[in-house]
């Protein structure tokens, strides 16, 4: 049984690395669209609808006509759409319009620590020392990688938006780590992306979110490129592949470990900016990447077994989205 759990964790970490590497592409390819005139809501809507459309055939094959599984998981899918897809992305893009990108990333990626503290507060039991040490080491590495500051003062509204995006990010990991109950990860990703895109279009139609698109060529890697090139890369790789892999990893690892593995997205984004956009990559950022890996290793070394809900689906416990995925990471009940 221990060997099976180790295999699930190893597989989950590999999938989590794929998810982080895919998610990390979004910054380098979304930025040219925003600079050419796209509004954040339009860019996010196009991104998630493309991703959902790409995953839809794979979701249909994975379901094999078991539409009842999709109905049982409807609240989980709705939570993924509204929290994990639409809200978190729009809030993050709105935040970086007011505060430095590095500061917004730092705030959003405090989500793993929020999950650890949440369990601590609810159970009145301190996490194991390896989890606390891993949290501290990973956040120290994150500080070095993103080098927050940017020479601008902090805007209270921008910080509030980033903190709200952080809570949405934490919610994404909790929802993704919920027991599968027969719903394949690719189906959850596809439905979540499509519903999230529709929700964004509906809100934009009311005028609450600016919705602007541009069909001009964009500046990509030092030269002009058609607008659809970065959109295709983001839609297929940084959205369809990234969300499917991320949900799969969360199901195998649990919300705590998968959220720490998600910190690798920051490292990946920094490397892509260095390789593709020519942005500098200093020694401190390299050290930060090593510290993040060390923090993940410490959290992984925690002897508390991780849930394996994909391999052993649990029966549904109602339709509400609870924190069972978080509490299972620490092997203690939350309520």
Q: What share of the chain is helix, strand, coil (3-state, %, to 5)?
A: 70, 0, 25
- Written as one string, the DSSP assignment of 114-179 is HHHHHHHHHH--PPPHHHHHHHHHHHHHHHHHH---TT-PPPHHHHHHHHHHHHHHHHHHHHHTS-
pLDDT in tens, 286-327: 787 778 777 777 776 665 544 434 333 333 333 334 444 444
pLDDT value at position 295?
A: 77
Q: What are phi and psi of 44, to 5 degrees?
A: -65, -45
* Cα–Cα distance measured from residue 77 to residue 60, given in angstroms and rounded to the nearest whole number: 15
Residue 261: both structure tokens together: 């593995």
Return the pLDDT at 80. Answer: 92
Q: Which two tokens stand for residue 311?
A: 């391999």
List, for the chain, all residue ranges whose pLDDT scores fall below the cut of 70.
1-5, 97, 100-103, 145-154, 273, 276-281, 285, 300-335
Could you tell me the maximum CA-CA distance found in the chain, to the nearest angstrom? 56
Please name the residues in contact with 52: beta carbons below 8 A apart, sequence gap of 6 or more. 189, 190, 191, 192, 193, 194, 196, 197, 240
Three-state secondary structure of 187-200: HHHHHHHHHHHHHH
DSSP category for residue 84:
I
Say what the pLDDT of residue 91 is.
Answer: 86
- In our burial notation (b when 16+ CB lie closer than 10 A, e otherwise), range 38-72 reads bbbbbbbbbbbbbbbbbbbebbeebbeeeeebbeb
| Cα–Cα distance measured from residue 259 to residue 174, given in angstroms and rounded to the nearest whole number | 9
What the block records as the tokens of 143 is 């500080």
* 39 and 181 Cβ atoms separated by less than 8 Å: no
pLDDT at residue 144 in the model:
78
């Amino acid at each position: 049984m221990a060997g099976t759990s180790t295999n699930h964790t190893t597989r989950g970490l590999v999938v989590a690395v794929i998810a982080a590497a895919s998610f990390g592409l979004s910054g380098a390819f979304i930025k040219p669209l925003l600079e050419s005139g796209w509004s954040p809501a339009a860019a996010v809507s196009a991104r998630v609808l493309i991703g959902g459309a790409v995953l839809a055939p794979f979701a249909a094959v994975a379901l094999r006509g078991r539409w009842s599984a999709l109905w049982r998981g409807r609240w989980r899918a709705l939570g993924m759409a509204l929290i994990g897809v639409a809200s978190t992305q729009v809030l993050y893009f709105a935040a970086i319009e007011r505060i430095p990108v590095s500061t917004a990333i730092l705030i959003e990626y405090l989500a793993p620590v929020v999950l650890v503290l949440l369990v601590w507060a609810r159970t009145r039991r301190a996490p194991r020392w390896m989890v606390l040490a891993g949290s501290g080491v990973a956040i120290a590495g994150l500080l070095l990688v993103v080098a927050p500051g940017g020479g601008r003062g902090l805007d209270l509204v921008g910080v509030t938006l980033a903190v709200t995006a952080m809570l949405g990010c934490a919610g994404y990991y909790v929802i993704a780590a919920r027991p599968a109950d027969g719903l394949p990860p690719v189906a959850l990703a596809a439905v979540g992306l499509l519903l999230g895109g529709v929700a964004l279009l509906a809100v934009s139609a009311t005028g609450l979110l600016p919705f602007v698109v541009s069909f001009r060529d964009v500046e990509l890697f030092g030269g002009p490129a058609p607008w659809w090139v970065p959109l295709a890369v983001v839609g297929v790789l940084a959205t369809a592949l990234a969300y499917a892999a991320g949900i799969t990893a969360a199901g195998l690892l649990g919300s705590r470990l998968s959220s720490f593995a998600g910190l690798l997205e920051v490292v990946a984004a920094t490397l892509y900016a260095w390789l593709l956009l020519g942005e500098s990559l200093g020694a401190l950022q390299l050290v930060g990447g090593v510290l993040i890996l060390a923090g993940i290793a410490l959290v992984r070394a925690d002897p508390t077994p991780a849930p394996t809900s994909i391999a052993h689906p649990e029966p549904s416990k109602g339709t509400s989205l609870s924190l069972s995925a978080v509490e299972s990471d620490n092997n203690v009940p939350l309520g």
